[in-house]
Structure 1
Amino acid sequence: MLEYIQRNQECPPERGLYLYDKFIDPPEFISYQDFPEQVAAYADFFRDQGIEPGTRVLFPFETSSAVIFAFLGLMELGAVPLSVKPLVLDTPRATYLDFIGRVARDYDAARVLQVPTLETLDLPAPGLPLPPAGIREPGARLRTPAADEPAFVQFSSGSTSFPKGIPVRQDMLRSNLTMITRTDGRVPEERVSSWLPLYHDMGLVGGLLSCLAVGCDLLLAEPITFLFDARGWWEHMAREGAAGTVIPNFAVDYSLKLMQDLDAEEIAEIDLSRVRSIYLGSEPINLPNLNAFLDLMAPAGLRRDVFMPCYGMAEAVLLVSSRPVGGEIRVVPSPSGVPAVSVGRPMPEYTVRLRDEEGRVCAEGRLGEIEVAGGSLAASYLDKQAPLVGDDGYYATGDIGFLDDGELFITGRISDRIKVGGQSYFASDFEQAVERLDFVRDGRTCVLQIGQDIVVLAEVDRTARDDVEGSRARIVDHLVKTVGVTVRSSDVHYLRPGQLERTSSGKLRRRAIAEAYEQGRLGGLTLDPPTGG
């Protein structure tokens, strides 16, 4: 990674990192020409603080230039950042301290980077201060790390268990960055925009590090900036001439919700004709919403072939498969009959296969668990003796999908599987259907199978709360029409805001939600403790 930063010193002085507090305000700018001197100065400062090669530093990855240079400075020193989520406003302090305390204990973190949000907290290990602003080491040249040297540790999503540490070696990182930039074809003269969190693999590898690898401008903001101003982000993309970005499916749903009332003349003022590649990953793709968004944004010149549905995981650094730039989004019926979106062919560095519930390798068109071998896959989880892969060299991902004409289709997680009459469905099939109803809040639905019952938990607006039985009946009828499955009205429950537990990357913690439901710990507007049957 450091060799890319050193090479970027030859870039034009106006090329670099642009950091935005608000999309309409002037950004903080750091030229790539200045990166080596600042990275080296950060490394020297940390060395004076007692940090050595191999020192593990718990690293709450805030979106700021100081924290980014701290990350790269630790890498220059040969220390190992443990990249975790920072403290955000909606996280209780006690919960966050429990989280970082467990990470520090489980993974022997010697220090904790003292980012601004941790200033008033009792840290689980001695603090590592950030250097003074503006430090440099004139004339510094960064080293080229060895292939097998640890670069950093990222963490699994934690949707079914406490997040696991995944060590990312320098050679794995280089390999996956090559896959990302080869697939989207970006060049140094282009600009990429990102607001994804830097502790998450999509934000760190797909956003920040991929731009440093190519030497193209990165227009970077915090996630909250997008949440407060989704329309402003698309306007910012247009104004700054961004050619690419990487986003989760949630961003499409959220943008559609906030922008759907704009008329064609207002949309046409947002010139997105220069956007040519949008990696779309992290979550099941809501196809009706994606098509509706493309229809909405057509007057802005946003082409229908810019979206690149992709599949990846922290265990593989990031990317495993993707639709190519300019490829039409391919949709075929899944084995259960629900439309499924292709996430492209696996990268040639990987071998991908699927196994059914009996352990047999699946033929094309058959549903099975996705298994991956080769590529930039980690050898094991951090500090675990057992290899990540099985005896045959394949890693069982826990994701379910199928292959069609060599392309991969993701239908859900094993833990999300819902079986009705011997047929496999997935929670996302039901959740996306429910959220098409106008009274259900986007992204605020969880569907579970408890015994033989299919339970719908949703946040809804006042119209549904004023007519509970009528709105429940609408959900039941809609699921019959869209998914082909009947759910009992008594198994449809409305929750208060914030009751659906999520991982640091925003995924539903289904196991925890199911336990809370079964134990009667979900206090909702229509929810009584389950009686079974």
Structure 2
Amino acid sequence: MLEHIQRNQECPPERGLYLYDKFIDPPEFFSYQDFPEQVAAYADYFRDQGIEPGTRVLFPFETSSAVIFAFLGLMELGAVPLSVKPLVLDTPKDSYLDFLGRVARDYEAVRVLETPTVAPLDLPVPGLPLPPAGIRKPGARLRTPAADELAFVQFSSGSTSFPKGIPVRQDMLRANLDMITRTDGRKPEERVSSWLPLYHDMGLVGGLLSCLAAGCDLLLAEPVTFLFDAPGWWEHMAREGAAGTVIPNFAVDYSLKLMQDLDEEDLAEIDLSRVRSIYLGSEPINLPNLNAFLDLMAPAGLRRDVFMPCYGMAEAVLLVSSRPVSSEIRVVETPSGVPAISVGPPMPEYTVRLRDEQGRVCEDGQLGEIELTGGSLAASYLDKLAPLTGDDGYYATGDIGFLDDGELFITGRISDRIKVGGQSYFASDFEQAIERLEFVRDGRTAVLQIGADIVVLTEVDRAAREDIEGSRAKVVGHLVRTVGVTVRATDVHYVRPGQLERTSSGKLRRRAIAEAYEQGRLKGLTFDLPAGA
């Protein structure tokens, strides 16, 4: 990574990192030409603070220039940033400090970077202050780290357990960055926009580091900037001539909701004809919403071939498979008859197979757990002796899918599997169907199998709460028509906002939600929820 930053010193002076507080405001700019001097100065500052090669530093990765240069400075020093979520407004401070303390204990971190949000807190390990603004080391040249050197640690999503530390070696990072940049074919003169959180593998590797590797402009904002102004982000993409981005499926659903009432004249003023690659991953893709969004954005010049459904994981640094840029998006039916979208062929560096519940290797079209080996897959979790792979060298991902004509299709997680009459369905099949109902709030549904029962937990609008029997009947009927499965009306429950627990990356914590439901800890279910609540 550092060798890319050093090479980028030869870029034109106007090429670099553009940081936005608001999409309509002028950005803060940092030329790639100046990066080596700034990174080296940060490394010297941290060295003076007692940081040595191999020192593990808890790293709450906020989206700011100081924190980005701190990350690169620690890497230049040979220290190891443990990239964790920052403190956000809706997180209780006590629970966040407990999280930091556990990570520090489990992974022997001896310092924590004093980012603006955590500096005032009573931190579990000694703080590491940020350097003074604007420091530089004139004439500095960055080193080229050894292939087996640990670059940083990122963490699994924590959807089923406490997040696991994943060591990212320099050679594995280089390999995955090559997969990303060659698959979307980006060029140094192009621009990429991102608002994904930098503590998450998609935001860090797919957004920030891939742009540093390619030497292309990065137009970067905080996630909340998109949440407050999703239409403004698409306008910003058009105005700044961005050629690519990387987003989760949520961003399509959210944008569709906020922009569906715009008329063709308004949309035609947003020129997205220069966008040619949008990595789309992180969660199951809602195909009807994707098609509806493409239809909506046609007057803006957004082509139907720009989206690149992809599959990845922190254990593999990031990318495992992707539809190549400008190729056809394939949709086929799963064995249970539900449409599924291809996430492309696996990268040639990996070997991928699928195995059924009896451990047999699947043929094309058969559902099985995705297993992989090779590529940029980590050897083990951080500080764990047991290898990530089994005795035969394959890593069992916990994801279920199938292969068709060499392309991979993801249907869900093992923990999300729902069995009905011997047929396999997945929670996302039900959730995406339910969220197409007008009275259901987007992204606020969890479907669980508790024994033989399928339980629906969802947030709905006031009208649906005032007509509980009628709205429940609509949920039941809609699932029969779209998924082909009957759910009892008494198993459809309406929950209060914020009751469905999520990971730091926004994924449902299904195990925790199921436990809360079974133990009666979910307050405000349908049967005791006042209509005016």
Range into which the TM-score falls when normalised by the shorter chain: over 0.9
Aligned to 1:217: 217
In structure 2, how many angstroms separate the alpha carbons of the residues matched to 1:521 and 1:181?
Answer: 46
State the SS of the aligned residue for 1:37: helix
Measured after TM superposition, the shift of residue 528 of structure 1 is: 6.2
In structure 1, how many angstroms separate the alpha carbons of the residues matched to 2:100 and 2:230?
Answer: 30
Aligned to 1:464: 464
Aligned to 2:352: 352
Q: For residues 408 and 108 of structure 1, do their structure 2 counterparts lie closer, same or farther at Cα, with a shift above 3 Å needed?
A: same
The one-letter code of the counterpart of 1:194 is: S
Aligned to 1:251: 251
State the SS of the aligned residue for 2:357: coil
Aligned to 2:41: 41
Pairs within 5 Å for 1:253-268: 253-268=253-268
The one-letter code of the counterpart of 2:388 is: L
Q: For residues 520 and 190 of structure 1, do their structure 2 counterparts lie closer, same or farther at Cα, with a shift above 3 Å needed?
A: same
The one-letter code of the counterpart of 1:492 is: V
In structure 1, how many angstroms separate the alpha carbons of the residues matched to 2:48 and 2:154?
Answer: 26
Aligned to 2:284: 284
Measured after TM superposition, the shift of residue 385 of structure 1 is: 0.3
The one-letter code of the counterpart of 2:217 is: D
1:40-78 deviation line (CA, Å, top 9, x unaligned): 000000000000000000000000000000000000000
Aligned to 1:197: 197
How high is the sequence identity, in percent, across the aligned residues? 89
Aligned to 1:13: 13
TM-score (norm. length: structure 2): 0.99
State the SS of the aligned residue for 1:346: coil
1:342-393 deviation line (CA, Å, top 9, x unaligned): 0000000000000000001000100000001000000000000000001111
In structure 1, how many angstroms separate the alpha carbons of the residues matched to 2:68 and 2:206?
Answer: 15
Contact preservation (8 Å) 1:179, 1:319: yes
TM-score (norm. length: structure 1): 0.99
Aligned to 2:74: 74
Measured after TM superposition, the shift of residue 315 of structure 1 is: 0.1
Q: For residues 528 and 395 of structure 1, do their structure 2 counterparts lie closer, same or farther at Cα, with a shift above 3 Å needed?
A: farther
In structure 2, how many angstroms separate the alpha carbons of the residues matched to 1:263 and 1:14?
Answer: 36
Pairs within 5 Å for 1:22-171: 22-171=22-171
Measured after TM superposition, the shift of residue 525 of structure 1 is: 4.2
Aligned to 1:514: 514
Q: For residues 528 and 400 of structure 1, do their structure 2 counterparts lie closer, same or farther at Cα, with a shift above 3 Å needed?
A: farther
Pairs within 5 Å for 1:295-310: 295-310=295-310
1:421 aligns with 2:418: no
Q: For the aligned residues, what is the CA RMSD?
A: 0.7
Aligned to 1:3: 3
The one-letter code of the counterpart of 2:408 is: L
In structure 1, how many angstroms separate the alpha carbons of the residues matched to 2:369 and 2:527?
Answer: 34
The one-letter code of the counterpart of 1:473 is: A
| Long gaps (5+) in structure 1 | none
Contact preservation (8 Å) 1:114, 1:129: yes
Measured after TM superposition, the shift of residue 255 of structure 1 is: 0.1
In structure 1, how many angstroms separate the alpha carbons of the residues matched to 2:289 and 2:398?
Answer: 26
In structure 2, how many angstroms separate the alpha carbons of the residues matched to 1:122 and 1:417?
Answer: 42
State the SS of the aligned residue for 1:381: coil
In structure 1, how many angstroms separate the alpha carbons of the residues matched to 2:375 and 2:293?
Answer: 34
1:237-277 deviation line (CA, Å, top 9, x unaligned): 00000000000000000000000000000010100000000
In structure 2, how many angstroms separate the alpha carbons of the residues matched to 1:406 and 1:127?
Answer: 50
Contact preservation (8 Å) 2:196, 2:202: yes
Aligned to 1:453: 453
In structure 2, how many angstroms separate the alpha carbons of the residues matched to 1:121 and 1:510?
Answer: 31
Pairs within 5 Å for 1:472-491: 472-491=472-491
State the SS of the aligned residue for 2:117: helix
The one-letter code of the counterpart of 2:144 is: T
In structure 2, how many angstroms separate the alpha carbons of the residues matched to 1:120 and 1:143?
Answer: 34
The one-letter code of the counterpart of 2:450 is: I
Contact preservation (8 Å) 1:520, 1:528: no
Contact preservation (8 Å) 2:119, 2:127: no
Measured after TM superposition, the shift of residue 95 of structure 1 is: 1.1
The one-letter code of the counterpart of 1:243 is: A
State the SS of the aligned residue for 1:117: coil
Aligned to 1:376: 376
The one-letter code of the counterpart of 1:95 is: S
The one-letter code of the counterpart of 2:159 is: S
State the SS of the aligned residue for 1:485: coil
The list of structure 1 runs, each at least 4 consecutive aligned residues, that deviate by more than 4 angstroms after superposition, is none
State the SS of the aligned residue for 2:475: helix
Pairs within 5 Å for 1:303-382: 303-382=303-382
The one-letter code of the counterpart of 2:151 is: A
| Long gaps (5+) in structure 2 | none
The one-letter code of the counterpart of 1:301 is: G
1:183 aligns with 2:183: yes
Measured after TM superposition, the shift of residue 433 of structure 1 is: 0.2
Aligned to 2:432: 432
Contact preservation (8 Å) 2:18, 2:30: yes
